Each structure stands twice: as C-alpha cells, then as structure tokens.
Amino acid sequence: MNRLLQMNKRVVIMLASIALTAMLSACGSNATPNGPLQPTSPAPSTGTEQQDSADRTTTPSPNVTVHPVKTTKPTPTEATTDSQLRKQYVERIYKLAKSGKMVNAGDFVVGKTLIDEVHKAWGEPNKSEGGYDFYAPGMMKGTIAFGVGRGDVVKEIRIFGTALDPIKDGVLLKVSDVKAALGKPSTTRTTGKQHILVYKTGSYELKFVYTPGKSNDPTLDHINLFSPKAAKAMGEG
C-alpha cells in the first residue's frame, strides 16, 4: 500500500515537471529576440492636428497688438516743379537787387563798386564794348556785363545766356515766370524792338528785357540791375 502511494507521488511530480517545462517553452517562443532597436514611425497626424499647428504659427497672440506699417507718398503739392524753381530764382534776383547785387556777380554793388575793383577781382574782361565789360566765368553762370558810369562806378550789371536758365535744362526764363514771381511791373518800356518790364527796388531798377515774337510767352534776352543815380553824367547831381 505504501509502495503504491509513493509511485503515485512520483507520477504526479513528473507530470508537474513536464507541464512547467511546456509553459516555459511557450513563453520563450513569444519573446522578441535580441537585436538592434527598430525606429518607430510616428503616427500620422490628423487634419485637425495640422490645422491646429497652422493656427499656432499664423495667429498672433491675443495679447500682442499688430500695427500695420504705413508708407507716406509725397503729394503733388509737395513736389517742387520746374515752374516753382524758376519762380524762386526770379524772387532771389529781386531780393538781391534790393541791395544792389545780381546773381552770379559776386559781391559787386551797382552804384558803389568801381570797375577797377572788378578788374582786380576777376582780371581783364573777355570783351569790352559799348561801355560794358563782359565776363564769361564758366560753370554755367552765363555772361555777366558791367556798365561803367561816372567816376568809373558800375552803373549796371547785366546777365545773359545760361544765367537765365536756373534749372540748366536749356529752357530760359519767360515773361510768365517773371510775372508769376513779382506780379505786375512798376512800369513797361520799349527800346527799339525790345520790351522791358521794370520793377523798382529801392534806388535801383530791375529790368527784364525780351523781344516779342510769335510766342505769347517770349523768353528773356537779359536781365539788368540799373542805378539811375550812377548813370547820370558828371554835374547832373
């Protein structure tokens, strides 16, 4: 009897051992073998996730104020036109004339400067004719003539050529430019074929000389700054 019980125990132990071995073998077959790690692909993003990302990129924070950049363009009234430049040039001539001076003629003063002072400062004239000494200083300053009065005092300064072209574009001053800047002249005169617009500037006369033609707006021939007092002959007071 005891022997039979011992045999049954052995059989049970053997069966248990076989069952355990089978279980361990099954677990080993399901395990992942050792080897390099394989990269894992990210899960594809959904349309909602992509839209959220775009929103975060393009939509400013509600706490940030975005100010649009403003660009200003000059209005037509701010731009200086050619006619305005010519007007300003005539106004400058008129302003200088009040003190007896002329553009491009340095500090020489009509009615005060001696012609010898001009010769000393500028050298001998390019030409002397009809009581005038003509200079051509270059640098687009045109021709400048000094008329000599009594006591060798400069009685008149005239400017010609490019001195009448303030913009240096080949267009000389016109009668309309003078009237636009200075208004109606003090008087008008005629000498031969030439017409003269005369503007009084203190003790001086500023003259704009032109020759009428087919044009309703003729160009100027020259501009004179004249001292009636210096032009008087000796003994006339």
Residue 143 to residue 37: CA distance in whole angstroms: 96
How far is residue 33 CA from its own chain's centroid? Answer: 78
Question: CA of 143: how far to CAs of 90, 105, 134, in Å?
Answer: 17, 10, 7
Q: Find the distance separating the first CA and the last CA of the chain, reported in whole Å.
A: 178
**Token pair 């395990």: residue:** 31
What is the structure's pLDDT at 39? Answer: 47
What is the structure's pLDDT at 80? Answer: 76
- Assess contact for 225 and 157: CB atoms under 8 A: yes
Q: What number of CA atoms fall less than 13 Å from residue 205's CA on the CB side?
A: 19
Residue 86 to residue 35: CA distance in whole angstroms: 92
What is the structure's pLDDT at 32? Answer: 46
Which stretches of the chain are DSSP H helices? 2-30, 47-58, 82-97, 115-122, 175-182, 228-231
The domain limits of the chain are 85-231
pLDDT in tens, the chain (237 residues): 555 555 556 655 666 666 656 565 555 554 444 444 444 455 555 554 555 544 444 444 555 555 555 555 555 554 579 999 999 999 999 999 999 999 999 999 999 999 999 999 999 999 999 999 999 999 889 999 999 999 999 999 999 999 999 999 999 999 999 999 999 999 999 999 999 999 999 999 999 999 999 899 999 999 999 999 999 875 565
Q: In what order do the strands lie in the sheet with 187-191?
A: 127-129, 132-135, 143-148, 154-160, 220-226, 204-210, 194-201, 187-191
What is the structure's pLDDT at 232? Answer: 85
Please, is 156 exposed, middle or buried when counting C-beta atoms within 10 Å of its C-beta (0-12, 13-18, 19+)? buried
What are the structure tokens assigned to 82, written together? Answer: 């050619």
